Amino acid sequence: MRFSGFNLFAQALQDHKGWPEQWPDKAPKAEYDAIIVGAGGHGLGAAYYLASKYGIRNVAVIEKGWLGGGNTGRNTTIIRSNYLYDESAHLYDHAVKLWDGLSQELNYNVMYSKRGVLMLAHNVHDVQSAKRHIHANRLNGVDNEWLSAEECQAYCPPLDISPTARHPVLGGALQRRGGTARHDSVAWGYARGAAALGVDIIQNCAVTGIRRGPDGAVQGVETERGFIASKKIGVSAAGSTSVVMQMAGLDFPLESYPLQALVSEPVKPIFPCVVMSNSVHAYISQSDKGELVIGAGTDQYVSYSQRGAFHIIEHTLAAICEIFPIFSRMRMLRTWGGIVDVTPDRSPILGKTPVPGLYVNCGWGTGGFKATPGAGDLLAHTIAHDAPHKINAPFNLDRFRTGRFIDEAAAAAVAH
């Protein structure tokens, strides 16, 4: 059933008891044309585009927990595409273009809000780096503009721009098309859209092995609910990618770290945009519910614990209170952590692997939510054609051997 004003009204007349389930809970079939491991936004997006755009509908998405319960449901939802290198600008802007119109395409409100992402500069190095990004972005057709300190404050009134501030604001780079979206809705919208096209979504079913034939090619996956055959397997397991890849005998250039976020008690609208400060490591926006959504940094050690240390949060809140003194008496409601898979150059790996029939989408680290529609589309393309799209071709696994890095780590120091 479509979501529409008419159906909302018709359902209201029957106490909303007639809405059908949005995606059925499926038992696995014996064989699929393609299997996606991991029902995060990326994996569900890949399944949706395989079915809607690339004509492969006999697809299963296999998830060890519940769909959207990984980093998709744990992130601070910042969307932007103002990355330095050409390859990254194309990759992330491909996604931002898909965010436009996604609610209409899925008939599901993903609440993409172009409220603008303002990245603050606190010192001369920040200013130079921001301006370099702005120029590079413009050459790639990605919007990004420089604001003076006064313009930053006009755009974001709670900002403290006094010269005596602990972290003085010298200006900022603003991407107006940047913003936020509702994380759960993205997973739910893709799940509903994919299920309607015949994709099976199988939850509470961890993949425990990847079976390979004598020729080395994949034959299917072992799961908690038995063997499921498929000649094409796309792994989109974020923080658990190394573990899944080892099932196929592959060691990956990844390390998994806890990354935390937190929200405050809900308050009336006070914060109109997204503000990021890379040099003091703080990210903040306000959700439509009214909570301040704050992103913290990663812990320093490899972990799969899905929680992080308190001193990391303390550090972030100290920075937030310095930059926005108005929030110093705000109470925090919840903190949580996700496990992010980080590559040596902080750019994702999206493409084929040395194992025939095995494809991977990983390494999005601290900043892959913004790429959800794009990563889904490109993973689907790569699986359907057994070859990458030209946008994701540079993000191959080989670059760690050839040295052709896409070094956003050096360019930005962090990626969100």
Partner 1 sequence: MLLIHCPYCEEDRPEVEFVNGGQAHIARPADPSSESDADWEKYLYIRRNPRGRHHERWRHIHGCGRFFNAVRDTVSDRFETTYKAGEPAK
Ligand X SMILES: Cc1cc2nc3c(=O)[nH]c(=O)nc-3n(C[C@H](O)[C@H](O)[C@H](O)COP(=O)(O)OP(=O)(O)OC[C@H]3O[C@@H](n4cnc5c(N)ncnc54)[C@H](O)[C@@H]3O)c2cc1C
Residue ranges in contact with ligand X by CB under 6 A: 37-43, 62-65, 69-72, 74-78, 206-207, 236-238, 240, 244, 259-261, 295, 338, 340, 364, 366-370, 416
Cα 372 to the center of its chain, rounded Å: 5
From the list partner 1, ligand X, none, pick the one residue 278 interacts with, judged by a Cβ distance below 5 to 8 Å according to partner type. none
- Regarding 253 and contact with partner 1 (CB under 8 A), the answer is yes
Nearest residue (CB) to partner 1, 171 versus 258:
258
* The two structure tokens encoding residue 345: 């150059």
Q: In what order do the strands lie in the sheet with 358-362?
A: 200-202, 59-62, 34-37, 233-235, 358-362, 349-352
User: Which residue number places its CB atom closest to ligand X?
Assistant: 40
Number of residues that bind partner 1 (CB under 8 A): 22
From the list ligand X, partner 1, none, pick the one residue 400 interacts with, judged by a Cβ distance below 5 to 8 Å according to partner type. partner 1
Q: How many other C-beta atoms can be found within 10 angstroms of the C-beta atom of residue 154? A: 12
Q: How far is the CB of 293 from ligand X (least distance, A)?
A: 8
Segment 255-314, which members bind partner 1 (CB under 8 A)? Answer: 255-256, 300-305, 309-311
Q: How far is the CB of 95 from ligand X (least distance, A)?
A: 9
- Regarding 396 and contact with partner 1 (CB under 8 A), the answer is no
- The DSSP 8-state label assigned to residue 152 in this structure reads H
In degrees and rounded to multiples of 5, residue 239 shows phi and psi of -60, -20
101 in Cβ contact with 111 (< 8 Å): no
From the list ligand X, partner 1, none, pick the one residue 251 interacts with, judged by a Cβ distance below 5 to 8 Å according to partner type. partner 1
Nearest residue (CB) to partner 1, 86 versus 398:
398
Nearest residue (CB) to ligand X, 65 versus 290:
65
- Alpha helices, H only, 161-220: 183-196
Nearest residue (CB) to ligand X, 178 versus 357:
178
From the list partner 1, ligand X, none, pick the one residue 305 interacts with, judged by a Cβ distance below 5 to 8 Å according to partner type. partner 1
**Rounded (to 5) percent helix, strand, coil in the chain:** 30, 25, 45
From the list ligand X, partner 1, none, pick the one residue 77 interacts with, judged by a Cβ distance below 5 to 8 Å according to partner type. ligand X
The set of long-range contacts for 158-162, using a CB threshold of 8 Å and a minimum separation of 24, is 158/270, 158/271, 158/324, 158/326, 158/327, 159/275, 159/323, 159/324, 160/322, 160/323, 160/324, 160/325
| Residue from the set 252, 283, 359, 369 that interacts with partner 1 by CB under 8 A | 252
Q: How far is the CB of 258 from partner 1 (least distance, A)?
A: 9
Residue the block writes with tokens 């390494």: 363
Q: How far is the CB of 365 from partner 1 (least distance, A)?
A: 13
- Regarding 400 and contact with partner 1 (CB under 8 A), the answer is yes
From the list ligand X, partner 1, none, pick the one residue 297 interacts with, judged by a Cβ distance below 5 to 8 Å according to partner type. none
Q: How far is the CB of 65 from ligand X (least distance, A)?
A: 4
The angle that helices 41-52 and 372-385 make with each other, rounded to 10 degrees, is 50
412 in Cβ contact with 92 (< 8 Å): no
Pattern 333-372, partner 1, x by CB under 8 A? -----------x----------------------------
CA distance 370 to 163: 33
Segment 142-171, which members bind partner 1 (CB under 8 A)? Answer: none
- Regarding 208 and contact with partner 1 (CB under 8 A), the answer is no
CA distance 131 to 148: 12
119 in Cβ contact with 145 (< 8 Å): no
Nearest by Cα to 382 from 91, 103, 141, 187: 91
Binding site for partner 1 (CB under 8 A): 240, 242-243, 251-256, 300-305, 309-311, 344, 400-402
